[in-house]
Amino acid sequence: QVQLQESGPGLVKPSETLSLTCAVSGFSISSGSYWGWIRQPPGKGLEWLGSIYYSGNTHINPSLKSRVTLSVDTSENQFSLKLTSVTAADTAVYFCAAHRRPESTIAVAAYYFDDWGQGSLVTVSS
Amino acid sequence: QTVVTQEPSFSVAPGGTVTLTCGLSSGSVSARYYPSWYQQTPGQAPRTLIYNINTRSSGVSDRFSGSILGNKAALTITGAQADDDSDYYCVLYMGSGNWVFGGGTKLTVL
């Protein structure tokens, strides 16, 4: 059974960089699949931030492209998110998730989110 | 910028059937958008229900089904139960490696 666990500081100061790591167990990151980050501001909806393949190939939300960096560490079986120049609007629960392809197709468009982490609340405040 | 639209709220009686939709502020949803659906209860991580339009995720009840209805993606819940009382989100692939969540529908079972 695949399990994902987010970790990182719960409080970040405005203008600084938010850094989170997602540890994956029960599945090797190198076996395939993209790995994604999704966030949810308090009381609001979900927003996809970006996804990374084990090889390092990434897809990033165009609205956040200038501030988001994704990385993967296959030796530690984990992947990470960095979000720069944060403001209060970046306060949210950050989820990591497997971003999988259905077996019936090779289309990138068909990828869907599966096996979610429990989420990590990050507050941006001085 | 095209927005993914969902009904903000919906209600259904226990045992009833409800269809939630996922559309576009401009244009029609078709199979090439590969809609997926997620259920979320307060304080919990989302749970994957449907992907690739109509494929149920492992362990998901067959009371949940996905389809394309007219110009929108749709999630139909039959035999509504109390624990279906949740928020439901759709995701559409918008091209160029970009996935977009809808704003979510708060479903009340009463």
pLDDT tens digit string along B87-100? 999 999 999 999 99
Instruction: Name the residue of chain B whose CA is nearest to A114's CA.
Output: B48
Put simply, whether A119 touches B (Cβ < 8 Å) is yes
Among chain A residues, the shortest Cα distance to B96 is held by A59
Q: Tell me the average pLDDT of chain A.
A: 96
pLDDT-based confidence at A105, cuts 50/70/90? Answer: confident
> Which pLDDT band holds residue B106 (cuts at 50, 70, 90)?
very high
Burial of B106 (0-12, 13-18, 19+ CB in 10 A): middle
pLDDT confidence bin for B2, thresholds 50/70/90: confident
- Which residues, other chains included, contact B7 with Cβ-Cβ below 8 Å and sequence gap of 6+? B20, B21, B105
B10 touches chain A (CB under 8 A): no
- What's the pLDDT band for A103 if we cut at 50, 70, 90? confident
Q: What are phi and psi of A30, to 5 degrees?
A: -75, -5
Say whether B38 and A110 touch across the interface (CB within 8 A). no
Terminal Cα distance for chain A, rounded: 39
Chain A: give the shortest CA distance to residue B28, in Å: 16
pLDDT digits (tens, 9 = 90+) for A36-60: 999 999 999 999 999 999 999 999 9
Residues of A in contact with B91 (CB under 8 A): 48, 112-113
The answer to whether B98 touches A62, Cβ cutoff 8 Å, is yes
Asked whether the beta carbons of residue A116 and residue B47 sit closer than 8 angstroms, the reply is yes
For the segment A56-79, the average pLDDT, to the nearest whole number, is 97
Q: Is the pLDDT confidence value at A106 over 90?
A: no
| pLDDT value, residue B96 | 93
Contact B97 A111 (CB under 8 A): no
Which comes out higher in pLDDT, residue A65 or A31? A65
| Residue of A42, A46, A74, A73 lying closest to A61 (CA atoms) | A46
H or E element at residue A108: none
Residues of A in contact with B99 (CB under 8 A): 48, 51, 59, 111
* A107 interface with B at CB cutoff 8 Å: yes
Average pLDDT over residues B51-58: 96
Residues of A in contact with B90 (CB under 8 A): none
Q: Do A111 and B100 make contact, defined as CB atoms within 8 angstroms?
A: no
Query: Mean pLDDT throughout A9-16?
Result: 98
Sign of CA dihedral A45, A49, A52, A58: positive
> Which of A112, A115, A118 to probe by mutation at the B interface, max B CB count within 10 Å?
A112
